Amino acid sequence: MVLEMKNIRKQFDGLEVLKDISFHVDSGEVVSIIGPSGSGKSTLLRCATFLETIDGGEILYMGEHAAHTDASGKAVYVHPKQLHRFRSYCGLVFQQFNLFPHYNVLKNLTDAPIHVQHRSREEAEETAMELLRKMGIADKANAYPYQLSGGQQQRVAIARALAMRPEILYFDEPTSALDPELTGEVLKVIRQLAEEKMTMVVVTHEMPFARAVSNRVIFMDGGVIVEQGHPEAVFGDPEQERTRQFLSNYQR
C-alpha cells in the first residue's frame, strides 16, 4: 500500500470539511475522486500532500506513519526532518499549474531535483529531457511558462512533479483551468502514466476519463466518502441514491 488514510478529520474554524475519511491506494493503482464542488476533495489531497494538517486520523505512506492520533484524540505528525522524507513520496499537480514563471521549462524540472534532492545537474537534465519527450514538449525546454498554452503548461507541471520521482502522484482537477480543446492532451499523458502503472489519485470532473482510466472511483459529498468501488460499478450501477443524483448531472 502506497497511501493509507484512516479516519481523517479536518475542520476550518468550526466548519467540518473532512468527516472521518478512510481510504487507501495500492501501488500501481489509479484512484479517481469525484464529487460536487465544496465536498472536500481538494482538502483531502492537500492533507495527503501535507499542505494542510489534519485534526485527527492517521496518514501512512509505504506502511509508515506520517501522522497518527494520540490518546487525547489530537493528530500528531512525525518530526519535520522525517516529514520531509514523506513529502518526497508525493507529487501534486495543481489546477492552476503553478509553474515557476522566472524559470524556463528545463529549470522548472531540474531546480528541485538539484537543490532539494542534491542530484547531479547532468542526471537531472537528462531525466528532465526524457520526461519532456514523453510529454511531447521536448522542443519547449528553453521556453518560459508564459510562452506556452495551458495544456503545455500543465504537461510541464506533470513533468516537474515526475522529475522528483514520487511514489504517488496527485492531481487536483488538472484540466479544469483549460479550454475544452486542450484537456485531451493532458488527459492523454495521464492515461499514458496509468498504463505505465504510475500510482495516481485524480480529482476530476471528466467522468468518461475517470471511468476509463481508474481502477477505483471514490465519490465524495459533504466531507464523507459516500461510495467507492470499481468504476463500472460506481458509474454503471451506483449503490447510493446521492451518487446516482450526482452522476445524472453528467449524463444525457
Partner 1 sequence: MSFSTMFSTMGVGMLRTCSIFFLTLLFSLPLGMIVMFLRRSRIKVVQGITKVFIAIMRGTPLMLQLLVWYFGPYYLFGASIRGYRFTAIIIGFSVNYAAYFAEIYRGGIESIPVGQHEAAEVLGYSKSQTFLRIVLPQVVKRIMPSVTNEVITLVKDTSLAFTLAYNEVFSLAKQISASQTSFMPFVIAGVFYFIANYAVAFAMERVEKAFNYYR
Ligand X SMILES: Nc1ncnc2c1ncn2[C@@H]1O[C@H](COP(=O)(O)OP(=O)(O)O)[C@@H](O)[C@H]1O
Q: Which residues bind ligand X (CB under 6 A)?
A: 12, 17, 35, 37-43
CB of 12 to Mg ion, least distance (A): 14
Residue 199 is a binding residue for Mg ion (CB under 5 A):
no
Nearer to ligand X, 12 or 100 (CB): 12
Q: How many CA atoms are closer than 13 Å to the CA of 27, on its beta-carbon side?
A: 7
CB of 130 to ligand X, least distance (A): 32
CB of 240 to partner 1, least distance (A): 32
Query: By CB neighbour count within 10 A (0-12 exposed, 13-18 middle, 19+ buried), where does 224 fall?
Result: middle
DSSP 8-state class, residue 165: -
Handedness of CA 20, 96, 111, 167 (dihedral sign): positive
Nearer to partner 1, 97 or 209 (CB): 97
How many Å apart are CA 13 and CA 18, to the nearest integer?
Answer: 13
| 17 interacts with, out of ligand X, Mg ion, partner 1, none, CB within 5 to 8 A per kind | ligand X
| Assigned C-alpha cell, 176 | 479544469
Q: Which of 62, 65, 77, 88 is in the footprint of partner 1 by CB under 8 A?
A: 88
Site for Mg ion in 38-77 (CB under 5 A): 42
| CB neighbour list of residue 157: distance below 8 Å, 6 or more residues apart | 93, 94, 97, 98, 99
Nearer to Mg ion, 88 or 95 (CB): 95
Q: How many CA atoms are closer than 13 Å to the CA of 205, on its beta-carbon side?
A: 16
Site for partner 1 in 107-136 (CB under 8 A): 111-112, 115-117
* Residue type at 173 in one-letter notation: E
* Residue type at 187 in one-letter notation: L
The contact pattern for partner 1, residues 193-222, with x = CB under 8 A and - = no contact, is: ------------------------------
Provide the terminal-to-terminal Cα distance of the chain, rounded to the nearest Å: 37
| Assigned C-alpha cell, 45 | 489531497
Q: Which residue minimizes CB distance to Mg ion?
A: 42
Residue 160 is a binding residue for partner 1 (CB under 8 A):
yes
Binding interface with partner 1 (CB under 8 A): 49-51, 84, 87-88, 90-92, 94, 96, 98-102, 111-112, 115-117, 144-146, 160-161, 164
Give contact residues for Mg ion (rule: CB under 5 A). Answer: 42
